[in-house]
A = this chain, B = another copy of it.
Amino acid sequence: MTPSPAFQPSETDNLPSGTRSAEIICVGTELLLGDILNGNAQFLAKELATLGIAHYYQTVVGDNPARIQQAVSTAAERFAKPSGTEAQLLLFTGGLGPTPDDLTIETLADLFGAPMIEHPDLLADIEAKFTARGRAMPPSNRKQALLPEGAMVLPNPQGTAPGIIWSPRPGLTLMTFPGVPREMQAMWKETAVPYLRAQGWVTTTIVSRMLRFWGISESALAEQVAAYLSQGNPTVAPYASKGEAKLRISARANSTAAALAKIEPVEAGIRALVGADCYGADDDTLASVVGKLLLARHQTVAVAESCTGGGLGQLLTDIAGSSAYFHGGVIAYDNQVKVNLLKVDAAVLEDQGAVSAIVAEQMALGAKALLQTDWALSITGIAGPDGGSETKPVGLVYIGLATPEGNVLTYKHEFSGYRGRDWVRQLSALSALDALRRNLL
């Protein structure tokens, strides 16, 4: 065993730092039990990023006063430390309901030593909401009209539980939202964001652009664009998911236009460096990019699928309007279908096996002839978990591409069979789209 070189901590969480920052504290035992996904944290995180409000921590706690207070204290201590932060915003979701388990607001009042005050106007509003539904207000809802002294109401137009906006001490602002996503989002947009703008929280904007790559690994991409990864604003960070590599370019500026202007030359530089492995950005998919290229050329495509069983056709038709260029195809799962419909030579099939370059060729040509398209893509491979051999392991896939000129190209892939059947099938379909994309460029 060899000792490593000394650890070099670099200040890179890829987020521009600021003198004001926010934290998100989600309250709810159902989150600790994994009963629900924390979509509220994602929503607020995305909103904060868009508004340019720095945000370094999220915490989840249960409906338990001691632990809620500990989470708030921890966050407040971070602010108290000489971190250059001049103001702090704590956003709470959950725990505003009428049951004894809903404790967020009284817990905050207790922590900061403020008495709870009943607001008659709030009580009237809550009662009116019940009346409008033809019901009497249950006594337990009365507590939703209690707010800490000094707190402002954060109105909830869609539900009974109001939130608060409260500065219990200088520099610290608390906002509480219910856990119901629809109510929380409406309160955020209608009241919280205008309040934050008015208070000077929103001075800059972060705009991000996600570049998407196929045919290159995350690490190879990171090495290729290494010079960009160490720069400041915009920052460039690599990601990987489901076989594709991504680069996120994030710029901070006073306006969206100014941020985009910072992103543009970096994107152009990266695209020039990486070339055709960059297939698009943001919401682009290989299928949408292929669709645009086919539309521009007024050309059509068909598919012949064996191991993907329809997955390539499904990807192509994920795109609304794909009927303009996608005619359809044959799912030739059984070899007899390859012979009968796609006119694959039975002797070749016998001799070379279904998973071979020549069968991929014949499948593509057969689909092009049968569906009368300009292009046709074929896929034949071993998705596993069974059916592999030493010479033809699980993950071996051949892709065929019949071209408008009457040629046929084949591509051999050896995907990681150990990653499972879904992985092999998904990468096969996406690689087929990528083969067509590169030939359309």
Q: Interface residues, chain A, CB within 8 Å of chain B?
A: 1-4, 6-7, 9-15, 28-39, 41-49, 55-67, 70-71, 74, 78, 94-95, 97-103, 106-107, 109-110, 115-120, 129, 132-135, 138-141, 143, 146, 157-159, 179-180, 182, 208, 210, 217-220, 222-223, 229, 237-241, 248, 250, 303, 305, 307-314, 316-318, 320-323, 326-334, 336-337, 340-341, 370-372, 383-386, 414-416, 418-423, 425
Contact between B29 and A34, CB atoms less than 8 A apart: no
Contact between B66 and A61, CB atoms less than 8 A apart: no
Contact between A3 and B116, CB atoms less than 8 A apart: yes
Report B-chain residues with C-beta under 8 Å of the C-beta of A59: 57-60
Report B-chain residues with C-beta under 8 Å of the C-beta of A386: 320-321
Interchain nearest-CB distance for A68 vs B (Å): 9
Classify the interface of chain A: helix, strand, loop or mixed.
Answer: mixed
* Identical chains bound together, number: 2
Sort A-B residue pairs by CB-CB distance and give the 9 closest, nearest first.
Answer: A310-B313, A309-B317, A34-B46, A310-B310, A13-B62, A13-B64, A34-B45, A4-B116, A58-B60
Report B-chain residues with C-beta under 8 Å of the C-beta of A311: 310, 313-314, 317
User: Contact check: which of B29, B157, B222, B326 meets A1 at CB < 8 Å?
Assistant: B29
Report B-chain residues with C-beta under 8 Å of the C-beta of A13: 29, 32, 61-64, 67, 101
Known contacts A38-B38, A99-B1, A323-B333; A65 and B9 CB within 8 A of each other: yes
Can you list 7 residue pairs at the A/B interface with Cβ under 8 Å?
A: A1-B99, A14-B29, A15-B62, A63-B237, A158-B420, A182-B420, A311-B314
Report B-chain residues with C-beta under 8 Å of the C-beta of A418: 157-158
For the complex, give the distance between the alpha carbons of A62 and B318 in Å.
33
Known contacts A41-B38, A70-B78, A219-B98; A117 and B330 CB within 8 A of each other: no
Nearest residue in B to A338 (C-beta to C-beta)?
Answer: B328
Interchain nearest-CB distance for A356 vs B (Å): 17
Contact between B31 and A4, CB atoms less than 8 A apart: no
Report B-chain residues with C-beta under 8 Å of the C-beta of A30: 1-2, 4, 239, 248
For the complex, give the distance between the alpha carbons of A12 and B67 in Å.
10
Contact between A208 and B317, CB atoms less than 8 A apart: no
User: Contact check: which of B35, B316, B334, B370 meets A327 at CB < 8 Å?
Assistant: B334
